[in-house]
Amino acid sequence: MNRGSLSLARPADHPALTPGRLGALLALLAGLVGVLGLAAGSEGWSWAWAEDRALIQAIRAPRTLGALAAGALLGLAGALAQGLFRNPLADPFLLGSAAGAGLGVVLVLAAGSVLAAHLAWQPLGWLSQSGVVLAAFVGALGGVALTLLLAGGAARPLKLLLCGVVVGVLMGAVSDLLLMASPEALRGRQMFLLGTTGFLGWTALAWLAGALVLALPLALRFARVLDALVLGDASAASLGLSLPRLRLLLVALMALATGTAVSQAGLVGFVGLVAPHLVRRLVTVTHGPLLLLSAAAGAVLLGAADVAARSVIAPQELPVGVLTALFGGVYLLVLLRRQGSGA
C-alpha cells in the first residue's frame, strides 16, 4: 500500500468514537433522516401527518426508505470495491457497471423505437419503457461480467481495474453509436442515468431491500478475505484462502449491489466513494464492521441528500445525484487540503 492511500484512509482523530458508538450514531441519524423524510413535502415541511397520510404512505415513505436502502447498497459496494482493490479511491461504478447500465437502457429504448416504427406495433414502445429498469440492472451486471471476462477472472486486481476502464469506454462508445441511429433514446438515457430518488415506490423499495438482504450478510461473512488482502496476496494465500474464487464472489456482490441501486435510482455518484472514507476517518476497524458501517453511512448520506433535494428549493426539486456529487466533491477536496497542510 502506498503512503498516499494510507494517509488518505487515516483513521483516528476521534479516539472516543468506538465502532459500536459510531454504529449507534449512524442508526440514530438514519432514524432522524427517516422522520425528516416523512415530513419533507412538496410544499415545504409538513408535520400534519394525519392529514397527509395518503401522501406519506404512497410517496414519502417508500421514497425515504428507498433512498436509505439505495445509499446502503452504494456504501456497501464502495467499501467492497476499496477493499478489493486496496485503493481508497475505488468506486462501485469502476468495473463497468455504470456504462453497462447506460448501454442496457439505450439498447432497449433504441430497439423499442426501431421495432415500434418498423412493425408499427405500438405496445413495443411501451414494452421498452417498462423494460428499462430491468435493462439497466442486466446491463450493470453485464458490464462487470465483461470486465471479469476480459481480465480473465478477478485474480489480478490491477488488470481487473484496467479492464473496467476499457469496458466503460467501449460501452460508452457503443451506446453513443446507437444514439446516432436512434436519437430519441438520448433523452431516455439522460433521464435514466440522472441520479434521482423521486420515482422510488414500493416496488423499487422491494428490489433495493431484497438486494441488501442478500448482499450484506454474504459480504459480512467473507469480510475476513478483505482483511487478509490488506496484507498482500501472498500472505492472504498463505492463510489458506482461495483468492481468485473469493474475489470473484465479492465482485459479484458488489455488482449486485451497484446494479440494483443504479437500476432504481440512476447514477448516484460519490456515495459509494465517500461513505467508507467517512467511516475509516472516524474509527479503526477490520472489514467486517467497516462494511456494515459503510452501508449505514451510505444510507444516511443518500437519505439526507434525498431530504435536502426535496426541501432546499421546494416546491421545486433538485436531482439527488447533483447534491451527492457536490457534497462528495467538496468533502474530498477538504480532505485533500487538510492532508496537504498536515503533512
Partner 1 sequence: MRWCRAVWLAWAVLPASAAITVTDDRGQALTLPQPAQRIVSLLPSLTEGLCALQACDRLVGVDRFSNWPAQVRQLPQLGGLEDTTIERLVRLQPDLVVAAVSARALGRLQALGIPVLALEPKSLADTRRVLDVLAQAIGKPGEGERLWAQIDQGVNAAAARVPPALRGQTVYFEVASAPYAAGASSFVGELLTRLQLVNVVPAAMGPFPKLNPEFVLRAQPAIVMATARAVAEMPGRPGWSALKALQAGRSCGFAEARYEMLVRPGPRLAEAAGLIADCLVTLDGRKP
Binding-site ranges for partner 1 (CB under 8 A):
41-43, 55, 58-60, 121-123, 125-126, 129-130, 180, 183-184, 187-188, 190-192, 194, 196, 198-199, 201-203, 315-317, 319
Torsion sign (Cα): 75, 77, 81, 83: positive
The 3-state secondary structure of the chain, one letter per residue: CCHHHHHHCCCCCCCCCCHHHHHHHHHHHHHHHHHHHHHEECCEECCCCCCCHHHHHHHHHHHHHHHHHHHHHHHHHHHHHHHHCCCCCCCCCCCCHHHHHHHHHHHHHHHHHHHHHHHCCCHHHHHHHHCHHHHHHHHHHHHHHHHHHHCCCCCCHHHHHHHHHHHHHHHHHHHHHHHHHCCHHHHHHHHHHECCCCCCCHHHHHHHHHHHHHHHHHHHHCHHHHHHHHCCHHHHHHCCCCHHHHHHHHHHHHHHHHHHHHHHHCECCCHHHHHHHHHHHHCCCCHHHHHHHHHHHHHHHHHHHHHHHHHCCCCCCCCHHHHHHHHHHHHHHHHHHHHHHHC
Compute the least distance from the CB of residue 119 to partner 1, in Å.
Answer: 12
The residue among 108 and 144 lying less far from partner 1, judged by its C-beta, is: 108
Do 222 and 82 contact (CB within 8 A), yes or no?
no
The residue among 261 and 297 lying less far from partner 1, judged by its C-beta, is: 261
Q: How many residues does the chain have?
A: 343
The residue among 130 and 235 lying less far from partner 1, judged by its C-beta, is: 130
Compute the least distance from the CB of residue 199 to partner 1, in Å.
Answer: 4
Compute the least distance from the CB of residue 144 to partner 1, in Å.
Answer: 25
Compute the least distance from the CB of residue 113 to partner 1, in Å.
Answer: 9
| CA proximity to 93, closest of 106, 111, 77 | 77
The residue among 94 and 110 lying less far from partner 1, judged by its C-beta, is: 110
| CA proximity to 201, closest of 41, 64, 301 | 64
What single letter denotes the amino acid at residue 266? G
The residue among 316 and 341 lying less far from partner 1, judged by its C-beta, is: 316
Compute the least distance from the CB of residue 114 to partner 1, in Å.
Answer: 11
Compute the least distance from the CB of residue 143 to partner 1, in Å.
Answer: 22
Compute the least distance from the CB of residue 250 to partner 1, in Å.
Answer: 32
Do 208 and 70 contact (CB within 8 A), yes or no?
yes
Do 128 and 107 contact (CB within 8 A), yes or no?
no
Compute the least distance from the CB of residue 70 to partner 1, in Å.
Answer: 15
Compute the least distance from the CB of residue 196 to partner 1, in Å.
Answer: 6
The residue among 17 and 59 lying less far from partner 1, judged by its C-beta, is: 59
